[in-house]
Amino acid sequence: MFHLEIETRLRAAVSAVAPSADLATVQVRPAAEARFGDFQSNSLMAVAKALRLNPRQLATDVLARLDIADLCEPVEIAGPGFLNFRLLPGALARLLEQALGGSHLFFRPAASPRSVVIDFSSPNVAKPMHVGHIRSTGIGDALQRIWRLLGHRVVSDNHIGDWGTQFGKLLVGWKTLLDRDALGRDPIAEMERLYKEVNARCDADPATLDRARRELVQLQSGDAENLGIWKEMIRLSQVQFDTLYGRLGARFDVTLGESFYNAELPGVVESLVAAGVARESEGAVAVFSDHTLPPKEDPLLVSKDGEWVDIPALIRKSDGGFNYMTTDLATIAYRLRTWSPDEILYVVDDRQSGHFRGLFHVFSRWRPDDFRKAQLRHIGFGKILGEDGKPFKTRSGDTVKLADLLDEAEERAQKVVAEKRPDLTPDEQKEIARIVGFGAV
Ligand code: ARG
């Protein structure tokens, strides 16, 4: 902050004395040693050399033109032409007062604020948040803080997975296998157990699979009992999410899950068909390549045995159900008409990069005008790996739960704190362990 201000003023003085000097070479840096003051500039020697001037004389002339008395003590020339700057305590105090008043110490708000929707974290309900979610949550939250700091308008949206075929199986599990005590103790673990159990049965038993399908259809057609159970599953999941977001310090402006867009999905499909973008194919509705892009750049084509073949984007299944793609198309349309963003950022791991390439492409064909108004960007990232370079798993091969990871980090920090600072109260030790453990993660 100060050094840029000093640099700007120094450049003005140099250009007054030596109009042909290359001002880009005139720089101010934090002082290498405190005894030289707070900031220094070694640039005048090079300027003098380039212009064949005496460096000390140039420094003297520049100082005579340098208007800096409100920021610094009288500036010293050292050696052949070094300048040393010492801040006035009053200048520092004024800056800190501004900071107390809410303005940032190092950043100036963007000259033309942009408006951005950031889609991040977005876990699926009825499942534990796992170690991978820390990345989407951490990167997304960092982005929203930075954009806000720079004065942009941000809407952070947690697009939770609260709809989909998994609820058929979950409903069968809830109705036939639910252990109420276990649900009371650890609802997510119990829901996960139900899902795994029914999923395994479905593989072996077509009747269970059939029942899961029927439960799902009933949920989708608004059956009161199934809707009630579904809502309860979401509520229990949200409690888990909120606890973890509290620990991570992440906040969302809105949490509009996939189910929020249900009512719009039939209209999205109709509109895509009417626009000639989608068509029926084997009972389903899909978007195929229109062959306007070079095949290599076309997300709806893939190279197989030296030939380009279709990988259409499905937007309605043959059983009438809708796809992840359909929901995401409805979501873009909603975000554009609700917040008119300049950009929408999707902070989601790289395994979904194909999905987002397809999504942005299909949207560009469906709503070309809207597509030009907003920039759609996938902010991807890789997996968290263990020490062996493979995806980070527990000893038994399961994904690592985010809550367990944070707990373990705090426990390990706790041991160190207890050893090093036995003089602190247990509460003080615990608080330090929380901060150090989480900081380490
Ligand atoms: N729920 C999805 C998952 O866990 C991530 C959603 C990302 N956001 C989006 N708009 N598709 O894989």
Instruction: Give the pLDDT confidence of 413-431 residue by residue, as tens digits.
Output: 999 999 999 999 999 999 9
- Strands across the sheet containing 375-379: 153-157, 115-120, 343-347, 375-379
When pLDDT is cut at 50, 70 and 90, the band that residue 392 belongs to is confident
Instruction: Give me the residues paired with residue 285 across strands.
Output: 280, 316
Mutation pick for ligand 1 pocket among 165, 352, 356 (CB with most ligand atoms within 8 Å):
352
Q: Pick the residue whose CA is nearest to atom 1 on ligand 1.
A: 161
When pLDDT is cut at 50, 70 and 90, the band that residue 74 belongs to is very high
Q: Cα dist. 5→22, 107, 215, 247 in Å?
A: 18, 13, 67, 39
Q: Pull the structure tokens for residue 207.
A: 């009747």
Q: Is the predicted pLDDT of residue 106 greater than 90, yes or no? A: no
The pLDDT tens digits of the residues spanning 172-225 come to 999 999 999 999 999 999 999 999 999 999 999 999 999 999 999 899 889 999
328 lines ligand 1 (CB under 6 A): yes
User: Could you give the CA distance from residue 228 to residue 171 in angstroms, rounded to a whole number?
Assistant: 11
pLDDT at position 170: 97
Q: Cα dist. 263→235, 270, 326, 330, 367 in Å?
A: 21, 13, 12, 10, 19
Q: Pick the residue whose CA is nearest to atom 4 on ligand 1.
A: 123
119 lines ligand 1 (CB under 6 A): yes
257 lines ligand 1 (CB under 6 A): no
**DSSP code at position 34:** G
Q: Pull the structure tokens for residue 274.
A: 């009417």
Cβ partners under 8 Å of residue 105, min gap 6:
1, 95, 99
Q: Is the predicted pLDDT of residue 47 greater than 80, yes or no? A: yes
- pTM summary value: 0.81
pLDDT at position 384: 86
Q: Pull the structure tokens for residue 293.
A: 């892009």
Ligand 1, residue 328: give the atom nearest the CA. Answer: 10
% pLDDT > 90, the chain: 85
User: Could you give the CA distance from residue 92 to residue 70 in angstroms, rounded to a whole number?
Assistant: 11
141 lines ligand 1 (CB under 6 A): no
The pLDDT tens digits of the residues spanning 288-315 come to 999 999 999 999 999 999 999 999 999 9
- Say how many CA atoms lie within 13 Å of 276 toward its Cβ: 1
Rounded to an integer, the average pLDDT of 24-35 is 92
pLDDT at position 383: 87
* Domains of the chain with bracketed CATH: 2-100 (3.30.1360.70), 119-160+257-379 (3.40.50.620), 166-238 (no CATH), 402-440 (no CATH)
pLDDT at position 321: 87
Q: Pick the residue whose CA is nearest to atom 5 on ligand 1.
A: 122
Residues 212 and 198: beta-carbon distance below 8 Å: yes
Angle between helices 224-248 and 166-177 (to 10 degrees): 100
348 lines ligand 1 (CB under 6 A): yes
Q: Which helix (H) or strand (E) holds 328?
A: helix 324-339
User: Could you give the CA distance from residue 209 to residue 172 in angstroms, rounded to a whole number?
Assistant: 9
Ligand 1, residue 331: give the atom nearest the CA. Answer: 10
Q: What is the four-CA torsion angle of 60, 62, 67, 71, rounded to 10 degrees?
A: -70
Residue 275: CB atoms within 10 Å: 12
**DSSP code at position 293:** S
User: Alpha helices, DSSP H only, in 66-205?
Assistant: 89-100, 133-149, 166-177, 180-185, 187-204
pLDDT at position 78: 92
Rounded to an integer, the average pLDDT of 258-287 is 97
Q: Pick the residue whose CA is nearest to atom 6 on ligand 1.
A: 122
Residue 333 region by backbone torsions, left for phi larger than 0, else alpha for psi between -120 and 50, else beta: alpha
Mutation pick for ligand 1 pocket among 159, 359, 378 (CB with most ligand atoms within 8 Å):
159
User: Could you give the CA distance from residue 171 to residue 214 in angstroms, rounded to a whole number?
Assistant: 10
Q: Which of 64-78, 99-113, 304-318 has the lowest mean pLDDT?
A: 99-113
pLDDT at position 350: 95
The chain-wide mean pLDDT, for the chain, equals: 94
pLDDT at position 103: 75
Mutation pick for ligand 1 pocket among 122, 237, 334, 336 (CB with most ligand atoms within 8 Å):
122
159 lines ligand 1 (CB under 6 A): yes
User: Could you give the CA distance from residue 6 to residue 84 in angstroms, rounded to a whole number?
Assistant: 11
Rounded to an integer, the average pLDDT of 142-162 is 95
Q: What sign results for the dihedral spanned by CA atoms 357, 360, 361, 362?
A: positive
When pLDDT is cut at 50, 70 and 90, the band that residue 269 belongs to is very high
122 lines ligand 1 (CB under 6 A): yes
